[in-house]
Amino acid sequence: RAVGEVLGRRAAVTLVPGTVLSPADLGPVAGLPAGRSLVGVALTAAEAPANGVVRGEKVAVVMAGVPGSTSSAPSVPPVPAGGGSSAAGGVVAVPGAVLCQGATVVAVSGPTSTSAGSASVATLEVPASVAPVLATLSAEGALAVVVEGRA
């Protein structure tokens, strides 16, 4: 295939070395819609359902608290239901607060070993306005995911 026809597209099937690449082997051009971001969220066994999460599932991202912290919860920008943006000032997120609904699981890897034990990493597609907050809280071990029902 010509490089221009292949660049930016993901494989739609498992590619086997030495086989000829056909148009049916390729998915659409990769990329995110405007206003969307990908964020990696580290999930221990206590921060996800027992069977984990799988690609394509819709999840809500919940504030789980900051491990080892006895102080008040960190201040984070407000995140309305659905993860939209808000022009209001910061709010205090409390454990159990839903930070983003309708996030799509794009990929899952792991488990990997961390200083806190074993964790998998879920890549979530979320509104760009909440991605920095989710990334920060994930790094602190302060997030959990809840699988949402299908409509």
Write the pLDDT tens digit of every residue in 20-44: 887 777 776 667 888 999 999 989 8
Model pLDDT, residue 91: 43
- Burial class of 104 by CB neighbour count within 10 A (0 to 12, 13 to 18, 19+): middle
Write the pLDDT tens digit of every residue in 42-101: 898 888 888 888 888 999 999 987 644 544 445 455 444 444 444 333 445 678 888 999
Model pLDDT, residue 57: 92
Model pLDDT, residue 115: 52
| Residue 103 predicted with pLDDT over 50 | yes
**Contact of 39 with 124, CB cutoff 8 Å:** yes
Side chain identity at residue 8, one-letter code: G
In eight-state DSSP terms, residue 124 is: E
Model pLDDT, residue 70: 44
Model pLDDT, residue 112: 57
Q: Which residue has the higher pLDDT, 112 or 82?
A: 112
What whole-number distance in Å separates Cα of residue 119 and Cα of residue 138?
Answer: 11
CA torsion angle 140 94 104 111 (round to 10): 40
Question: Coil, strand or helix: which one is 123?
Answer: strand
Model pLDDT, residue 66: 60
pTM: 0.65
Query: How far are the Cα atoms of 75, 81, 114 from residue 133, in angstroms, in the given order?
Result: 10, 15, 21
CA 18, 23, 26, 29 dihedral sign is positive
Q: Which residues contact 116 (CB under 8 A, 6 or more apart)?
A: 44, 67, 141
Model pLDDT, residue 50: 85
